[in-house]
Amino acid sequence: MTTLLHIEASAQRAERSLTRLLGREFFATWQHLRPHDRVLRRDLAVDPVEPIDAEWIAAAFTPPDARTPAMVDRLRGSDAIVDAVSAADVIVMGVPMYNYGIPGALKCWIDQSARIGRTFSFDLARGDVPIEPILSGKTLVVLSACGEFGFEPGGMRAAMNALDPQLAACAHYWGVTRERIHTVRIEYQEFKDARFAASVEAGKAAAVALAERLARAASASMSRAA
């Protein structure tokens, strides 16, 4: 059985959110092909994550056997996030582009998922690369939408794209290498023209095709293991 973790970061309701639309297409396709797989869900618009603070930092960087009951309690939400990431084989994020970057709600989730001793180790003996991921072998699917266009490498707004680089930079916390990040994006939302309509249809088709490819790869991998 494959476990998928669906993180939805859009502040919009389902009827207005393009990333939620892409998520519906992706999961309907996956579950048609692999109906017995487990799906864990976290909607950050409904169930937001608190930002980290001084107490959280102190608790996270205190060795587990030295934490006070208050520290243990402060980390419960983060522990739940890390448990879900650890259990997942495929992480699917609905990530609209807000002001050229990720939504603040997702930034809070990312900060709570980066945990020394749980998702990464830190050792200065490694020299200038002291951080080493603990998790591995996972796939990240980014279902995105933006008001403008041209954010792809070489595009007219590529230098303004703060969303993709941040997710790629943090993916190692979730056990994802850069070559296992897959992105589907709808563009032109603010223009509301034929290009937008075409981008919506292309995005839906791409989400379906990606779900088919990854689901079939999961089936093939399980067949080989058997």
- In the chain, the percentage of residues whose pLDDT exceeds 70 is 99
Neighbours of 25 (CB within 10 A): 21
Half-sphere exposure (Cβ direction) of 111: Cα atoms closer than 13 Å: 16
Q: What is the pLDDT of residues 63-83, one digit of tens each?
A: 999 999 999 999 999 999 999
With bands split at pLDDT 50, 70 and 90, how would you rate the model's confidence at 220?
confident
Provide the b/e sequence for 209-226 (b: ≥16 CB within 10 Å): ebbeebbeebeeeeeeee
Task: Say if CB 138 and CB 180 are below 8 A apart.
Answer: yes
Q: What is the pLDDT of residues 10-66, one digit of tens each?
A: 999 888 999 999 999 999 999 999 999 999 999 999 999 999 999 999 999 999 999
- In the chain, the percentage of residues whose pLDDT exceeds 90 is 96
Please say if the pLDDT value at position 226 is more than 90.
no
Q: What is the CATH number of the domain that holds 178?
A: 3.40.50.360
Q: Which amino acid is at 137?
A: G
pLDDT for res 14: 83
- In the chain, the number of structural domains is 1
Q: What is the pLDDT of residues 131-174, one digit of tens each?
A: 999 999 999 999 999 999 999 999 999 999 999 999 999 999 99
Q: What is the pLDDT of residues 84-109, one digit of tens each?
A: 999 999 999 999 999 999 999 999 99
Residue 210 domain boundaries: 3-225
